[in-house]
A = this chain, B = another copy of it.
Amino acid sequence: MFENYFRKKVEAIEVKEKSISQLLAEMSQTAYQGRKLGEAVDVWEAMLKEKDLTIIMGFAGSMSTAGQWKMINWLIKNRFIDVLVSTGANVSEDIVDAMGLGYWQGSHMVNDEALLKADINRYYDVFGKESDYRKMEELMTDFLLTLKTDFVYSSTELLYLFGKWLSKKGIKSIVAVAAENNVPVFCPAISDSAYGEAFLMAKNKGHTLLIDQVKEFDQFVSIGEKAKDIGVIYIGGGVPKDFTQLIAISVSPKTADKGVPGREGFLRKEVKEYYYPHKYAIQITTDSPQWGGLSGCTLEEAVSWGKIHSKGRRVTVYCDATIALPLITHALNERIKARRKGPDLTWLFSQVS
């Protein structure tokens, strides 16, 4: 019985010169969240070595103002992720920086009324100029005016076209690099961001667009239908996580009762349909399970839903992503030297290419 419990010793870390990857490997032999952070690198590494895996990242929060967006570009370029599901903030506020305007290191203890008067927006300890934000919205509006008003767009189609447009201008934001690499970007609550405001600015110029949530969800779910296996990485929770979870259980309503050919699913008896739990999952969160919400819930809770595979590899790291993401990406960079070849998802853009 003791053998079951006592398989691997905790190894106290000795301080000496080592690489980032090596330190994280040593942290994986310790405990608490240090161990989890180390394990996250191992799980991601395993994903990258898996054949025929579609890797989806849910990317919440306001990470682009915090100097994190170029790491997402790096992940896309190396195809360490195949699909990005993002808040509107993360794929709009990066553009301010990519335009060369940027953000400033401020303080979270400051007189916010004075900031308002100085036309400064605060993101915790980051300061941004309202006028820079507005320049980004104007650029966005310029792009929107190039779109057709009689076409029904999904968010991923719109962001693909935007990416192409930005790329040509040399503005290498996340959607630009994603478009260059044929990585689709979904943004289920797109109007809840600068995009929403730009939609109205375009409308004000007589250019009213149609951004359809049914088409978007249908396209997203279709990725699941065509995938062999899915691995997910959640930076924060919110809509990006919840939406990405849904792909596991919303696959193919047409054929749900027969199952997707070639995929091993789980038959939910009562509803007589096949679910396809995600095989790998990494979750970086600062939320906690006890509040009952989706953002902080354990990956185990998702097992009950058939959203995460009980036999797959999974790890939750309770840590600010501004700490976890730099460490994980740099460790991956040391471990994996070749660009990964992900699944071809260009069919998603067929109507707009």
* Chain A residues packing against B (C-beta within 8 Å): 1-2, 5-20, 23, 26-27, 29-35, 37, 60-62, 65-71, 74, 89, 97, 102-106, 108-109, 112-113, 115-116, 118-127, 129-131, 134, 152, 188-193, 196-197, 199-201, 203-204, 208-214, 216-218, 221, 236, 238-239, 242-243, 246, 249-250, 253-254, 266, 268-271, 286-295, 297, 300-306, 310, 318-320, 322-323, 325-327, 329-330, 333-334
Contact A254–B204 (Cβ < 8 Å): yes
When the two chains form the complex, which single residue of B208, B254, B320 contacts A319, counting CB atoms closer than 8 Å?
Answer: B320
Closest to A110 in B: B304
- Are B217 and A109 in contact, with the CB atoms below 8 A? no
In the assembled complex, which residues on chain B have CB atoms less than 8 Å from the CB atom of A246? 192, 196-197
User: Given the complex, which residues of B lie within 8 Å of A218, measured CB to CB?
Assistant: 199-200, 203
Asked if A11 contacts B67 (CB within 8 A), the reply is yes
Known: A15-B330, A121-B305. 17 other contacts (CB 8 A): A5-B118, A5-B127, A9-B104, A10-B104, A12-B97, A15-B333, A31-B67, A32-B322, A112-B310, A121-B304, A123-B292, A124-B297, A131-B271, A188-B191, A191-B216, A192-B239, A200-B250
Inter-subunit contact B288/A286 (CB<8 Å): yes
Which B residues lie within 8 Å of A121 (CB)?
304-305
A30 and B270 CA atoms in complex are apart in Å by 26
Which residues of B have CB within 8 Å of A27?
322-323, 326
What CA separation (Å) do A131 and B287 show in the bound complex?
Answer: 29
Assess the A105–B67 pair: CB atoms within 8 A: no
Contact call B31/A292, Cβ cutoff below 8 A: yes
Q: A253-B201, A292-B124 are in contact. Are A116 and B333 (CB under 8 A)?
A: no
User: Which residues of B are found within 8 Å of A26, using beta-carbon distances?
Assistant: 326
A-B residue pairs, 10 tightest by C-beta:
A34-B322, A30-B67, A31-B66, A33-B320, A32-B292, A115-B304, A131-B270, A191-B217, A112-B303, A124-B292
Q: Is there contact, CB below 8 Å, between B238 and A66?
A: no
Task: Assess the A105–B31 pair: CB atoms within 8 A.
Answer: yes
Instruction: Show 24 residue pairs from A and B whose CB-CB distance is below 8 angstroms, ordered by the A residue.
Output: A6-B129, A8-B104, A10-B103, A11-B67, A15-B74, A18-B20, A27-B326, A31-B66, A34-B67, A113-B310, A116-B305, A120-B304, A121-B304, A122-B301, A122-B305, A124-B297, A126-B292, A131-B270, A188-B192, A196-B217, A211-B214, A238-B295, A288-B290, A290-B320
- How distant is A40 from chain B, measured CB to nearest CB, in Å? 11
The verdict on A116 contacting B310 (CB below 8 Å), with A211-B214, A217-B200 known, is yes
Residue of A196, A250, A295 with most partner-chain B CB within 10 A: A196
